[in-house]
Structure 1
Amino acid sequence: MHPAFSVVFFTTATGAGYGLLALLGLLGGLGFIPADFWLGLAGMALALGLIVAGLLSSTGHLGRPERAWRAFSQWRSSWLSREGVASVATFIPAGLFGIGWVFLGKSGGWVAVAGLLTATGAAVTVCTTGMIYASLKPIAQWHSRYTLPAYLIFSAMTGGVLLNALLQGFAMGSAAVLTGALLATPAGWGWKLATWRYNDRLEIPTTANTATGLAGGTVTSIEWPHTEENYLLKEMGFRVARKHSAKLRLIAQALAFAAPAALLAIVFFLPWPLGAIVSVLAAVAQLAGMLVERWLFFAEAKHTVTLYYGRQ
């Protein structure tokens, strides 16, 4: 698949934004995070800012962005439409939670209920995003048991690292949040390694014979029906060299997982504000690494439509 930056940024930004929003709603609503005005304002602004920026960037991949609103009408059959509905619906409890937790300085009661609904809405939205790709049978690398959990794990991981950086920045560091972020990072790393191992060993049963329905012998493409690449080959037939893929996998692992885990471990032994600075560096490195990881997620996927053009 062609890794358009708008979609790469969308999946990275919204994943981190919804992860942070879910944690704020859950921990803030139940009183585990203090109802501090500036902390809450910065946290909600960061979470909602990432979400809105990601959603707006996704329209850049549409042929007619002004018609994006029509996607909401297909929620009965389209995971993309369900994602749009869920993302907008989540803003309702998030707004109520923000009013109670940030501006009224309250937790528990109706604020806790709004926070729980916000966290639920964020999780559902991330699930619908993952299902957009997991439901695509023609792309074997996505249509697997690894895709949907990856979206949830990465969202919780990036959201947790952002929350830790936020708390450390306001000198309200929590050992529990720091520990959770530290544990989530190697968990995400392990899941990514397992996904790559699965995809590298994947044996796709579909061939040019089965794709065309012509049995017997070997079906080969003698001549393309056109003289230059069309939309299908540009979007569905993107190819990345194996050596480049290996190099980018190392970069993704170093930035998204190894560096943040090492930095978060160091934070336990640093006083403020050094701990805050290192926590922010961990969050920035992880988001940069996730951009690379998401790029690979699209670039390494192969659509079976390319079989019609003689590609294996």
Structure 2
Amino acid sequence: MHPAFSVVFFTTATGAGYGLLALLGVLGGFGIIPADFWLGFIGMGLALGLIAAGLLSSTGHLGRPERAWRAFSQWRSSWLSREGVSSVLTFIPAGLFGIGWVLLGRAGGWVAAAGLLAAIGAIATVCTTGMIYASLKPIAQWHSRFTLPGYLIFSAMTGSVLLNALLQGFALGSMMLLAACVLLTLLGWGWKLATWRYNDRLEIPTTANTATGLTGGTVRSLEWPHTEENYLLKEMGFRIARKHSARLRQITQLLAFALPVALLIAAFFLPVPFAAVLSVLAAIIQFAGMLVERWLFFAEAKHTVTLYYGR
């Protein structure tokens, strides 16, 4: 599939934003994180900013962005529409939580309820995003048991690393949160390796014979459907060289997982100012690595429509 940057940025930014929002909603709403104005303002601003930037970026991949609102009407059958509906609905409890926790400096009661609803909405939205891809049967690399859990794991991973960087900056970091960030990053690393291993061994059952229903020989095209590149080939017939794929996988592992883990472990043994710097670096590097990981997620996927073009 063609890895359009608008969609790559959308899935990366919203995943991190919703992960951070869910953690703030639960931990802030129940008073585990103190209700400090600047902490809440920056934290909620970062979470909602990433979500809004990602959602706006996604419209850049639409042929007619001004008609995007029509997608909301198909929530009964479309995961894309469900994603849009859940993302908008999540802003309601998130806004109420922000008013109570950031502006009023309160926790518990209705603020905790709003924070919990915002967290549930964030998780639900990430699930709908994952299901957009997991439900696509023509793309075997996405239509697997690894896709939806992967979206949830990466959202929790990037969200927790962002939260750790935020709290470290306000001298409120904890060893428990640092340990959780390391464990979630290692979990994400293992899940990505397992996903790649599964995709590399994947035997796609569909061939030109099964697609046409013709048996008794090998189906070949006498004349290609088009004489030049068209939309389908550009969007769904994108191909990446194996050597480039291997190199980008190495970059993904280094930036998204290995370096953040090393920086976070180092933060265990350093005082607050240095731990904060390492935590912020870990968050920035991991975000860059996840952009590469998302690019590969699209570039390595193969749509069965390419059989029509002899690929």
TM value normalised by structure 1: 0.99
The corresponding residue for 2:69 is 69
Q: Secondary structure at the match of 1:142?
A: coil
Deviation of the 1:249 alpha carbon = 0.1
Paired AA for residue 169 in structure 1: G
Shift of 1:174: 1.9
Q: Secondary structure at the match of 2:272?
A: coil
Q: Corresponding residue for 2:287?
A: 287
After TM superposition, give the deviation of residue 216 of structure 1 in Å.
1.6
* 1:197-240 Cα distance to aligned partner (Å, 9 max, x none): 00000011100111122222001123212211111110001000
Q: How many Å separate the matches in 1 of 2:176 and 2:221?
A: 59
Give the Cα separation in 2 of the matches to 1:301 and 1:216. 30
Q: CA deviation at 1:40?
A: 0.3
Q: How many Å separate the matches in 1 of 2:105 and 2:68?
A: 37
Q: Deviations over 1:5-54 (max 9, x none)?
A: 00000000000000000000011111111110000000000000000000
Matched, 1:169 2:169: yes
CA-to-aligned-CA distance 1:52-81 (integer Å, 9 cap, x gap): 000000000000000000010000000000
Q: Which amino acid aligns with 1:197?
A: R
Q: Which residue of 2 aligns with 1:252?
A: 252
AA aligned to 1:46 is: L
User: Structure 2 CA distance, aligned partners of 1:109 and 1:243?
Assistant: 55
Q: For 2:3, give the aligned amino acid.
A: P
1:160 aligned partner:
160
Q: In the alignment, does 2:192 pair up with 1:192?
A: yes
What is the Cα deviation at residue 175 of structure 1? 1.9
**Between Structure 1 and Structure 2, how many residues are aligned?**
311
Which residue in the other structure is 1:21 paired with? 21
Q: Distance in 1 between matches of 2:192 and 2:101?
A: 35
Q: Which residue of 2 aligns with 1:122?
A: 122
Q: Distance in 2 between matches of 1:275 and 1:158?
A: 18
Residues 123-158 of structure 1: CA deviation (Å, up to 9, x unaligned): 000000000000000000000000000000000000
Segment drifting more, 210-219 vs 78-87 = 210-219
269-278 vs 12-21, which moves further:
269-278
Structure 1 vs Structure 2: percent identity of aligned residues? 83
1:78 aligns with 2:78: yes
2:305 corresponds to which residue? Answer: 305
Indicate the residue corresponding to 2:95 in structure 1. Answer: 95
How far 1:167 sits from its partner (Å)?
A: 0.3
Which structure 1 residue ranges, 5 or more long, are not aligned?
none
Kindly provide the amino acid, as one letter, of the partner of residue 251 in structure 1. Answer: I
Aligned partners of 2:121, 2:213: CA distance in 1, in Å?
Answer: 43
**How large is the Cα RMSD of the aligned pairs?**
0.6
User: What TM-score, normalized to structure 2?
Assistant: 0.99
* Structure 2 CA distance for aligned equivalents of residues 174 and 268 of structure 1: 9
- Asked whether 1:148 is paired with 2:178, we answer no
What amino acid is aligned across from residue 290 of structure 1 in structure 2?
M
The unaligned stretches of length 5 or more in structure 2 are none
Compute the displacement of 1:264 (Å): 0.3
In 1, the alpha carbon distance for the partners of 2:222 and 2:167 equals: 62
* Structure 1 segments (4+ residues) deviating >4 Å: none
3-state SS of paired residue (2:143): coil
Letter in 2 for 1:208: A
- Structure 1 residue 186 displacement after superposition: 0.3
